[in-house]
Amino acid sequence: MHFMDRKHFNWVGSKAKGEGLNKEYEVYSVLYYPIKTNPVTFMALRTSKRGTEQFYLNVEDSCVVLFDRIYHALRNKEPDTEFQYIPETRKFSNDLVELERKHPQKITEMKIGVIYCKPGQTKPQEMFQNGRDSLCPSFWTWINTMGKEINLEQWNMYKGDMGSTGKTYYKNWEFEYNNKKQNIEIIYHLAPLLEPEGHRRLIGNDVAVIFFMEEGPRSDLDVSDREEPTNAKEEEEEGESFKSNSHFKLDPMVVSLLGTVPQVFIAIQPYRGKYRVQFFSYTNIKPHLPPPPTHPISTTQMVDLVLTKIYNGLMSSRFCVPMNRLFFVPRGQTLQEDILEKYLSNNLTTKKKKKEETRVLIIDEPKKKKMECVRVTVVSVCIETMDQSYDLTVILTLGENQQKTKTIKHSNKPIWNEDYTFDLCGIDKEFTEFEVDVYCHRNCGTIGLVRIPVFDLLYLGGQLEDQPQWFTLMRRSLDDSTTEGSILLKFALTDEEVVLTEPKTPRSFRKSSILPSIKPKVPNL
């Protein structure tokens, strides 16, 4: 049974990444029941942008309810992490399963670059000059052991960034890995069959690259002709460093000329019906199995060894810089934006961050006897859809307080730079909206408006003081479709005692039917 199909608890853990408010989120899932062999050990999963890993959690055996015991065990294991329980277990767990489907850790497709190397060639630029006519018969023998020939025009499966045209040798292979049958589609980008643009766009974007080297005279090789493996100690010393124990005269430093994407490299050379194989990679790639052979190996051994090594190398590269961004970034965005934002309460969301910052900025009225006010500066309006000049006025409304700017005539990009102060006392900051209307006096009525929740308005006033910001104008229709215009506003909080006068807008204008009153939003209970 899958872990998510069993009864379990879900917590979201948040940990600050250095200074500031940026946090990294992880999901901790713990089963209800301990493992059979130990009554205080519980199986758990940690899901993050880096993937999903299994671990075991030691929970104290006491009379305290299970929920609290597991929670305290998590706090002890991750003391720097803030946890929040997610009660919607089934729906939340289904979203985690969907996350694994969209961004799986397991690789199901591989594209591998193949570069043909003649004796004496030591740089990729020289090897790219080898065309189809330069290929020796042993190359075709080898590539046909790695896969089968396909026609891209008729191939409806994985094409490895290739288009639908071109009849070339590309291979699809299904192989056994780690004692499990796994369908992994592989496309080989054969450099001798590609144009220079293909070398750049295809092989230059392949993480794994194979160098096939012609079988040359003994002087071109730097390996003994041992047919049997050495003892275990010598085999371990052989290691994975191509630099220290190179089989072939190929300087690993020149692979940097291929670009920053290729990370894992394999050198293959036929020898007396068998193959010499060696591996090397950039130092940022963590070591991965299997180790390189210390003697020529058979064709069957070569195929299994090479494909397994490439698979493990690709898996390792996904968690090492610089290629890890291709996996971490989209997976992290899906986890945080598409999943966690639906379940987290305010103490972990952006809204909570705004509230915490606003508490510092807003003055405590009973203690300091000062009014909470916000100063709004109407800077400018830009209307792209108006093909001629109009008389424009900006009307600002907060609760019962309504003020307006002076009217600027014959302009579609007027500039005001006028300040207006609004008292926040008695305003429901959670549900009231601040409304800004751009009004045309030539039978057009309201051209567009902006509605800003007071909660966000306070946040803007504290964070963007003296920094104007453009807001897109919305139509007053029910669909709230945008208009091709925007207004430049600036907000600032003030804690000074302000004596508010009557609004400049005439009472008759404020009570007209042009601008209907704004009712505060009522939360859904």
With tokens 């309810």, the residue in question is: 65
pLDDT number for residue 252: 57
* DSSP secondary structure letter of residue 521: P
Coil, strand, or helix at residue 401?
strand
Angle between helix axes 454-463 and 350-361 (nearest 10 degrees) is 70
Q: Kindly report the CATH number that applies to the domain delimited by 109-317.
A: 3.40.50.11210
10-residue block means of pLDDT along the chain (525 residues)? Answer: 85 74 85 91 94 92 85 92 86 90 87 90 87 91 88 77 53 36 79 86 89 68 38 37 40 69 89 89 83 90 93 89 86 88 63 50 44 80 71 88 88 85 78 85 78 74 65 66 74 63 42 36 38
Paired tokens of 416: 């005001």
* R_g (Cα) of the chain, nearest Å: 33
Q: Do domains 109-317 and 363-510 have the same CATH topology?
A: no
3-class DSSP string for 483-507: EEEEEEEEEEEECCCCCCCCCCCCH
Task: Please name every residue paired with 279 in a beta bridge, in sequence order, or none if there are none.
Answer: 266
Residues 396, 496, 362, 357: what is their CA dihedral angle, to the nearest 10 degrees? 90
Residue 302 to residue 287: CA distance in whole angstroms: 19
- Cβ neighbours for 519, distance < 8 A, ≥ 6 positions apart: none
Residue 168 to residue 184: CA distance in whole angstroms: 20
Specify whether the CB–CB gap between 434 and 521 falls below 8 A: no
Residue 102 to residue 496: CA distance in whole angstroms: 53
**DSSP string for 302-364:** HHHHHHHHHHHHHHHHTTSTTTTHHHHHHHHHIIIIIIIHHH--TTTSHHHHHHHHHHHHS--
Strands 109-117 and 208-213: parallel
pLDDT number for residue 250: 55
Paired tokens of 154: 């008729």
Paired tokens of 491: 């907000």
Residue 32 to residue 271: CA distance in whole angstroms: 58
Residue 395 to residue 46: CA distance in whole angstroms: 52
pLDDT number for residue 18: 54
Burial 150-178 (b: 16+ CB within 10 A, else e): bebeeeeebbbebeeeeebbbbbbebeee
Residue 304 to residue 174: CA distance in whole angstroms: 11
**CATH class of the structural domain 363-510:** mainly beta
Angle between helix axes 137-146 and 299-317 (nearest 10 degrees) is 60
Q: Left (φ > 0), alpha (ψ -120 to 50) or beta: where does 36 sit?
A: alpha
Write down the domain spans for the chain. 3-102, 109-317, 363-510
